[in-house]
Structure 1
Amino acid sequence: MFEAAIFYYSYYSLLGGTDVKAAYIHSFITTNFLIFCIWPSHFASDGANVLWTRSLLDALADFDSSATANWFVIDRRHGNGVVAKFESNAMFVFHTVNAYEVASKQDRVDIVCDVMQYRNMDVLEKFYYENMISTASGAGNPINPAFKKPHHYVYGICDRGKSCFLDGLVKVDMETRTSKLWSKKSHTPGEPIFVGNPEKAGEDDGAVLSVVLDGESGRSYLLVLDAKTWVEVGRAEAPGAVGLGFHGVHVKL
């Protein structure tokens, strides 16, 4: 079971809930709605296994590919609770990308939810290694924060199976469904961070930063890509290895 609530310091307002089994998920939020998609990443024994295993990963039940992903749309403005329910094919998602509302031709509101989707939870088993340099893992799919809803470009890390870990940085054009790739043999990139050009207004006018581990030298460097061309324009070398999983957001001070 899950419930959605908004907290205001010492009290909260209950918006809605449902009786689906507890699961590992990320949620969406738009101007007027909260959206939950409960994919088949349920916790065994109704979540009690978390206490026994002391691990969210080990507490998950086996993935059921015959099950459905259940979507719940909750009104966050007028207290109407769950206003819509949908089903889709089974999937697994680490992170959501974005969500926004668009006007519908049927005098309704359509909600666009963008995710990085996996067919199952097999990706979780790829994080087992005999010798871990760092226990932090890299993942992410940021956008230009100045172009929230809707967005045109998504930046992320990709795994093409050409390394023991993540092996490339990708820029995805959500309108043309095309992509650009940056990759270098034996180099493992971290989550991309977009930095906008203050003198230009285009969504991909700026730079993308990523902390990359050079597997040959054992040292990391801060990679700078031109966000528009996806070509390297510079890098700053580090004296040693930076733990995988470093991520955040660029803020102008």
Structure 2
Amino acid sequence: MTQEPAPYEAGLRSLELETSLADLPVEGRFPDWLEGTLLRNGPARFQVGEEPYRHWFDGHAMLHAFTLEAGTVSYRNRFLRSGTHDEAMAEGRIARSEFATDPCRSIFGRVMAVFRPRVTDNANINVARLARDFVALTETPLPIRFDPESLETLGHVEWADELRGDITTAHPHVDPASGILYSYLTHFSRTSTYRLWALEPGSRSRRELASLPVDRPAYMHSFAMTGRHLVLSEFPLVVNPLEMALRDRPFIENYRWEPERGTLYQVFDRKTGEHRATCRGPACFAFHHVNAFDDPDTGEVVLDLAAWDDARIIDQLYLKRLRRASPELVAAEPRRLRLDLTAGTVRTRTLSTHRMELPRIAPGLEGRRHRYVWATGNRVPGHFTDELVKLDSDTGEVRTWHEPGCHPGEPVVVRPPASAPSGDGAGGNGSDLSGGTGSDGNGGTGSDGNGGTGSDGTGGGRGGNDRPDSRAEDAGVVLSVVLDARSESSFLLVLDAASLEERARARVPHAVPLGFHGQFFGRAGSAPRG
């Protein structure tokens, strides 16, 4: 019996087309101040020859660029020519192991892989600025440079240091004030190590801040930064590196859920690298940290997560399951954790019963106290994302944007030029494409305070020249690439960041595969924010 496909199945098909499109058809009106490029990253080829990839996280990376200028929108997409991509295309088969796909399943293949290891550089998760380079990122420490205008692949980043590791994060943090970039490496060995590092603006020499030995490293997709601290969240999804060395299964399938370990939050001083505390909380799992900040009154580290009670979500994102009409996905909930660095304890509360993932905050507030969170959500429990959500973390109030048959991607918040949230000296919308420092239809629904429908979908919202109060944390707009399952096409959606009312959309004639993360880079930007 043939199973009915998921309504968003068009977003999980391979897209072989590489194209450049000028002047996309626009509904509504873009703000006059909104100029720059939204760069998005995600998988776009889910099969090579007769060999399919097994997991959503495995597909070949494709970059997408939406450039906004004078009220018009252009679009360009290109595959990232990684070593993984080029070898697979040359050999007509999957050539390197991915997150959940291993081409070396025979005994011979595993033995040969020991002598000729080929680590994937399929950087399909995120984009960022490193020194003067635009880079695509994944969880192996092999960032790939690309041209932000042509999207041409330029090669791997060549570090000017000897820092080594096997696994990293595609979510580095940038201090809004100093421009210093922070990240970490996990080095697998008999005694494995977490290594935190910092990168000064313009430099390619990473400075090791701290190292922490660990017997069974945790799978950590992201980490947290405050004004004073860096936090590694060791969820109890852990691996024995010696077992992994046998290479008898794909990367993630070597990890085991051990809830009795609880979750360990390793807190480090951001300036000195001193290991300040290990705080133990209940077992949970998360891909994404929302934000973190220091509470000056209590001395606690406050950390927000889009969290699950366990790690089942990884299994639920295998393509065979995800392509079902009813994939039965467990959605994440927004949680606030308070880490007591003296007692080593964790207090947790749920910020809202409204489920959400792919969270973003206002640019310039990274590591500082925030109020609002923008994210994707799903109205039907167990289904794929079908709405955008704005959460007031102080009151728990939720606003939503929803349109039947549409599946939005990660919301990216863009603030008006020269603006900053009240109380913060930082501002800007991202890096400058010219060299500054440093997720789809007709009609539409807007939002009300209860998550209901609001605007009439005709591109309402404020007009082009008006400028929101730049001092407000939720000033500006939200950008999302949306899959329209009805027409099997996609569009760039622009919403008012405060009300989530639609302002404009620009349609692409094909379905953009469901991707992961992106950043907006202004035409006259400053250091990377958020």
> What is the letter of the counterpart of residue 269 of structure 2?
D
Which of 391, 395, 398 in structure 2 is aligned with 1:179?
A: 398
Distance 1:234 1:248 in 2: 19
| Aligned partner letter, 1:113 | L
User: Which residue matches 1:37?
Assistant: 233
Aligned to 2:212: 17
1:83 and 1:252, CA in 2 relative to 1: closer, same or farther beyond 3 A?
Answer: same
Deviation at 1:101, TM superposition (A): 1.6
* Alpha-carbon distance in structure 2 between the residues aligned to 1:88 and 1:163: 27
Q: How does 1:212-231 map to 2 (within 5 A)?
A: 212-231=482-501
Tell me the residue number matched to 2:181: none
Distance 2:492 2:207 in 1: 42
One-letter amino acid of the structure 2 residue matched with residue 32 of structure 1 = R
- Structure-1 separation of matches of 2:504 and 2:243: 49
Q: Which residue of 1 aligns with 2:364?
A: 146
Task: Summarize the alignment of residues 89-104 of structure 1 with structure 2, pairs less than 5 Å apart.
Answer: 89-104=282-297
Equivalent residue pairs, number: 242
Query: In the alignment, does 2:309 pair up with 1:119?
Result: yes
Structure 2 match to 1:86: 279
Question: Which amino acid letter does the alignment assign opposite residue 512 of structure 2?
Answer: V
- Rounded Cα–Cα distance in structure 2 between residues aligned with 1:14 and 1:204: 34
Letter in structure 2 aligned against 1:71:
Y
Kept in 1: contact 2:407–2:483 (CA 8 A): yes
2: CA distance between counterparts of 1:140 and 1:50?
A: 32
CA distance in 1, matches of 2:416, 2:245: 44
Q: Which runs of 4+ in 1 moved over 4 A?
A: 7-11
Instruction: Quote the residue 1:136 is aligned against.
Output: none
Does residue 196 of the first structure (1) align with residue 415 of the second (2)? yes
For residues 112-163 of structure 1, give each alpha carbon's deviation from its aligned partner in whole angstroms, at most 9, with x where no partner exists.
1111111111111221233989xxxxx6211111333111111111134457
Q: Which has the higher strand share?
A: 1
Gaps of 5+ in 1: 134-138
The answer on whether the counterparts of 2:492 and 2:506 sit within 8 Å (CA) in structure 1 is yes
What's the offset of the Cα at 1:193?
Answer: 0.8
Which residue type is aligned with residue 214 of structure 2?
A: D
Question: Compared with structure 1, are the counterparts of its residues 192 and 128 closer, same or farther at alpha carbon in structure 2 (3 Å cutoff)?
Answer: same
1:53 CA drift (Å): 5.2
Structure 2 unmatched ranges of 5 or more? 1-191, 324-356, 418-466, 524-530
- State the secondary structure of the residue aligned to 1:144: coil
User: What amino acid maps onto 2:223 in structure 1?
Assistant: S
Q: Deviations over 1:177-217 (max 9, x none)?
A: 12112222221111111111334321111111111111111
CA contact (8 A) 1:22 1:47 kept: no
Q: CA RMSD in A?
A: 2.5
SS at match of 2:196: strand
Task: Please give the per-residue CA displacement for 1:211-236, whole angstroms capped at 9, x wherever unaligned.
Answer: 11111110001111111111222211
- Distance in 2, matches of 1:49 and 1:161, equals 38
Cα offset, 1:32, TM superposition: 2.5
Moved more, 235-244 or 160-169: 160-169
Residue 64 in structure 1 maps to residue 64 in structure 2: no
**TM-score (normalizing by structure 1):** 0.85
Compare 92-101 and 23-32 and name the one that shifted more.
23-32
Q: Secondary structure at the match of 1:58?
A: helix
Q: Does 1:206 align with 2:425?
A: no
Aligned CA distance change for structure 1 residues 169 and 30 (closer, same or farther; 3 Å): same
- 65-74 or 234-243, larger mean C-alpha shift: 65-74
Q: 1:51 to 1:222 in 2, by over 3 A?
A: farther
The alpha-carbon deviation at position 56 of structure 1 amounts to 3.2
Classify 1:241/1:53 alpha carbon distance in 2 versus 1 (closer, same or farther; 3 Å): farther
Aligned to 2:389, which of 166, 170, 184? Answer: 170
Given the superposition, is the C-alpha separation of residues 12 and 228 from structure 1 closer, same or farther in structure 2, using an over 3 Å criterion?
Answer: closer
Question: What is the percent sequence identity of the aligned residues?
Answer: 30
Contact 1:144–1:204 (CA under 8 A) maintained in structure 2: yes
1:4 aligns with 2:198: no
The amino acid across from 2:195 in the alignment is: A
Amino acid of the structure 2 residue aligned with 1:49 = M
Contact 1:211-1:246 within 8 A present in 2 as well: no
Say if 1:160 and 1:40 are closer, same or farther in 2 by CA, change over 3 A: farther
Which structure is larger by alpha-carbon Rg, 1 or 2?
A: 2
The worse-fitting range, judged by mean Cα deviation, of 118-127 and 198-207 is 198-207
Distance in 2, Cα, partners of 1:235 & 1:77: 43
Post-superposition offset of 1:89: 0.6
Corresponding residue to 1:232 among 479, 488, 502: 502
Query: Which range moves more in the overlay, 155-164 or 47-56?
Result: 47-56
Match of 1:247 among 470, 495, 517: 517
2:370 counterpart SS class: coil
SS at match of 1:22: coil
Q: Which amino acid aligns with 2:484?
A: D
| Partner AA of 1:58 in structure 2 | E
After TM superposition, the structure 1 stretch with the greater mean CA deviation from structure 2, 7-16 or 240-249, is 7-16
1:93 Cα deviation from its structure 2 partner: 0.4
Q: Please tell me whether the aligned partners of residues 363 and 414 of structure 2 are also in contact (alpha carbons under 8 angstroms).
A: no
Residue 130 of structure 1 aligns to a residue in which SS? helix
Measure the CA separation in 1 of the matches of 2:393 and 2:246.
Answer: 41
SS at match of 1:224: strand
Q: Is the 8 A contact 1:219 1:240 kept in 2?
A: yes
Shift, 1:246, TM fit = 5.0
